[in-house]
Amino acid sequence: MRKNLLLAFILILVIVSCSQAQEMKIGACIYRFNDAFMLRFRNAMAEESQKAGAKIDFADGQDDQNTQNSQIDEFIANGVNVLIVNPVDRMSSQPIIDKAKAANIPVVFINREPSLEMLSTYDKAYYIGAKAEESGTQSGQLIAEYFKSHPEADKNKDGKLQYILLRGQNGHQDMILRSKYSIEAIKESGIEPVELANAIANWDKLQAMTIANAFIMSIGAENIEAIIANNDEMALGAVEALKANNYNMGDPALYIPVVGVDANASALEAMDRGEMLGTVLNDADNQGIAAVKLALALAENKDLNSIGYKIIDNKYIWIPYQKVTRGDTK
Ligand code: BGC
Ligand code: CA
């Protein structure tokens, strides 16, 4: 009898310790692996998961919502404890929320913001990101500050700023709001902006290069006073196009200020070389850390106020943007 009791006790101990050591599994869906900013984001999440002793698996949505939906089904079938989702089409987030809710798995959205209406349908649905309008404002301010401190930047001496705008993917809040607020900020600084051309280049360097090159050909580089891009990759594409036309290679007479958003390493290097004017830090590290911390706290039913990030309206964590100019990169 005693022996049996002892055995039972040992068995319980084993079960308890096993269940405690059971590692948390995060299923992370990324809209597309081949995106410089999302790579930074992924690295931050991988590192934070490792630190926390959790397992994180990443799925590449390949810019296709149907592909991503199947990946979400698979993660749920495989018994992940929580989902982190960077939706391909943020306006198609409702079915993802419904699936997570049906499986009683928390879901943390990142980088592409579902509507509050959608998030409100599930108490364990959250969004972590950065306020798009803030980055737009800051990139517009970078251009305005440059224009004011460099009279030669007003090439046709009309007091107005003739610019080209390169926009990100259609429907993305960062594309819509950065486009709007960068121009607003220029106006607010007292400079009248004049749009020479704008185009969608889908966050992509190569597309931006081709488009910028076509604009340079049709408009003439000497008539362009600024290039504003919704992200760094597109800014770098524009820089490539400019360099191919002998611009932004060191001769101050052949220079067009270019701004982006993200502060990716390649953009900081271009700024150091004097090829790009500035960018805005899109803090992938903090967004990634916050995403994993929140995901794990939700999965483990912990107090969400303990993770070190302020949660707004029980739905949002906002990570601030920050202007970056040449001097800051050194
Ligand atoms: C970044 C872009 C990125 C996009 C992906 C934006 O916040 O600035 O570089 O391509 O997110 O969704
Ligand atoms: Ca002008």
Can you give the pLDDT of all 330 residues of the chain as single tens digits? 566 766 666 666 555 555 555 899 999 999 999 999 999 999 999 999 999 999 999 999 999 999 999 999 999 999 999 999 999 999 999 999 999 999 999 999 999 999 999 999 999 999 999 999 999 999 999 999 999 999 999 999 999 999 999 999 999 999 999 999 999 999 999 999 999 999 999 999 999 999 999 999 999 999 999 999 999 999 999 999 999 999 999 999 999 999 999 999 999 999 999 999 999 999 999 999 999 999 999 999 999 999 999 999 999 999 999 999 876 654
Cβ of 41 less than 6 Å from ligand 1:
no
Q: Which residues surround ligand 2, an ion (CB under 5 A)?
A: 154, 156, 158, 160, 162
CA distances from 273 to 4, 153, 249, 290 (A): 76, 19, 9, 33
Residue 241 contacts residue 209 (beta carbons within 8 Å) = yes
Nearest to 111 by CA among 160, 147, 61: 61
Give the distance (Å) from ligand 1 centre to CA of residue 37.
6
- Please give the helix or strand (H or E) that residue 209 lies within, else none: helix 205-219
Query: Considering every ligand atom, which ligand is closest to the CA of 154?
Result: 2
End-to-end CA distance of the chain: 74
Edge-first strand order for the sheet with 316-318 is 55-60, 25-30, 82-85, 107-110, 125-129, 316-318
Nearest to 85 by CA among 103, 60, 104: 60
Query: Cα separation of 130 and 282, whole Å?
Result: 7
Query: Cα separation of 156 and 163, whole Å?
Result: 12
Nearest to 232 by CA among 189, 174, 146, 187: 174
Residue 234 contacts residue 178 (beta carbons within 8 Å) = no
Residue 100 contacts residue 122 (beta carbons within 8 Å) = yes
pTM: 0.93
Cβ of 112 less than 6 Å from ligand 1:
yes
What letter represents residue 89's amino acid?
A: D
Give the distance (Å) from ligand 1 centre to CA of residue 172.
9
